[in-house]
């Protein structure tokens, strides 16, 4: 599979629930963290955006749970992004490292609320999208 960006990490024990598997909501955290890292390494800070009056907020999330991560599993959290109208659409794939099994596939649609009003986008994010869509993909 090819993606625009990825991070590797390990399941933290407190992220597992009483079934011994990573809790559903935690995958939302994993995808958020991958998105924010993707932005950060490209010079965009989520907290600075907020300080400037631009809140990037999730409008819609679709998450498919394919296989469960467990205590101390290593995983690869991949992300790609494109713009569709007002929306920045992030595609997420989370794989277990040791066997490349797909654990979670998600589509996250983000919009920008600038000074309280839904906006067409935000300049530095639009520039980032243009740049990244012309960059080569990464093979995982």
Point out which residues bind a second copy (CB under 8 A): 10, 12-14, 16-21, 23-26, 28-29, 32-33, 36-37, 40, 45-47, 50, 55, 57-65, 68, 70-72
Identify which of residues 62 and 139 has a Cβ nearer to a second copy in the complex: 62
Rounded to a whole number of angstroms, the minimum distance from the CB of residue 38 to a second copy is 12
List beta partners, residue 102: 95
At a CB cut-off of 8 Å and minimum separation 6, what does 34 contact?
Answer: 5, 6, 7, 77, 78, 79, 92
CB of 134 to a second copy, least distance (A): 26
CB-based contact 94:68 (threshold 8 Å): no
3-state secondary structure of 83: strand
CB nearer to a second copy: give 10 or 137. 10
Least distance CB 19 / a second copy (angstroms): 5
**Looking at beta carbons only, is 33 or 83 nearer to a second copy?**
33
Least distance to a second copy, CB of residue 100, Å? 21
Q: Is the Cα dihedral 127, 130, 136, 138 positive or negative?
A: positive
φ/ψ region of 77 (left if φ > 0, alpha if ψ in -120 to 50, else beta) reads: beta
Query: Contact, 78 vs 37, CB < 8 A?
Result: no
The smaller minimum CB distance to a second copy, of residues 3 and 56, is found at 56
């Amino acid at each position: 599979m090819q993606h625009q960006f990825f991070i590797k990490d390990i399941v933290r024990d407190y992220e597992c629930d009483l079934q011994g598997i990573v809790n559903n909501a935690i995958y939302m955290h994993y995808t958020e963290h991958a998105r924010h890292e993707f932005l950060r390494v490209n010079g965009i800070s989520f907290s600075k955006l907020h300080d400037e009056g631009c809140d990037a907020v999730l409008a819609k999330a679709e998450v498919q749970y394919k296989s469960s991560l467990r205590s101390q599993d290593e995983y690869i959290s991949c992300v790609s992004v494109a713009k569709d109208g007002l929306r920045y659409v992030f595609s997420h794939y989370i794989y277990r490292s040791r066997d490349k099994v797909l654990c979670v596939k998600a589509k996250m649609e983000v919009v920008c609320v600038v000074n309280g009003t839904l906006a067409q986008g935000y300049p530095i994010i639009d520039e980032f999208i243009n740049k990244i869509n012309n960059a080569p993909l990464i093979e995982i």
